[in-house]
């Protein structure tokens, strides 16, 4: 069964304290891995797509990387406005374009 696991469930950081969020996956055939940011009560906001192991993407303080078994979302010098839930999702080759999501990591950054 295709599965996505995110860790930790919750993460508290001080402003400027860099860290990483993990997304591990077991799928039959990975087409792509997606990262989203979700604020409370709102829809997920697209951040990155990664298609092959070794690929990296960056946007402001965020950097996403991909290996054959997991992805990391690195947050460098976070600010309070980075506080949100970060969702990881995969698309598998045999399932059309349906996304399989993890439960998310809730990040809180305090000043």
Partner 1 sequence: DAGVTQSPTHLIKTRGQHVTLRCSPISGHKSVSWYQQVLGQGPQFIFQYYEKEERGRGNFPDRFSARQFPNYSSELNVNALLLGDSALYLCASSKSYEQYFGPGTRLTVT
Residues that bind partner 1 (CB under 8 A): 4, 31-32, 34, 36, 41-46, 49, 87, 89, 91, 95-104
Instruction: Kindly state the smallest distance separating residue 46's Cβ from partner 1, in Å.
Output: 6
Distances (CA, A) of 106 to 33, 39, 67, 110: 19, 10, 23, 13
CB nearer to partner 1: pick between 88 and 109: 88
Instruction: Kindly state the smallest distance separating residue 16's Cβ from partner 1, in Å.
Output: 29
Sequence-distant (≥ 6) Cβ neighbours of residue 26 within 8 angstroms: 2, 3, 69
Distances (CA, A) of 51 to 2, 39, 67, 88, 109: 17, 25, 10, 13, 29
CB nearer to partner 1: pick between 76 and 100: 100
How crowded is residue 87: how many other Cβ atoms within 10 Å of its Cβ?
22
Q: What is the largest CA-CA distance in the chain?
A: 45
Instruction: Kindly state the smallest distance separating residue 44's Cβ from partner 1, in Å.
Output: 5
Instruction: Kindly state the smallest distance separating residue 2's Cβ from partner 1, in Å.
Output: 11
CB nearer to partner 1: pick between 14 and 43: 43
CB nearer to partner 1: pick between 11 and 99: 99
């Amino acid at each position: 069964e295709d599965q996505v696991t995110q860790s930790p469930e919750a993460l508290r950081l001080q402003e400027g304290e860099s860290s990483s969020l993990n997304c591990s996956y077991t799928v039959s055939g990975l087409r792509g891995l997606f990262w989203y940011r979700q604020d409370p009560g709102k829809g997920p906001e697209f951040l990155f797509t990664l298609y092959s192991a070794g690929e990296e993407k960056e946007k402001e303080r965020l950097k996403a990387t991909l290996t054959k078994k997991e992805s990391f979302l690195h947050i460098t010098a976070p600010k309070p406005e980075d506080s949100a839930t970060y969702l990881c999702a995969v698309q598998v080759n045999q399932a059309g374009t349906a996304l399989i999501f993890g439960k998310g990591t809730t990040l809180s950054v305090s000043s």
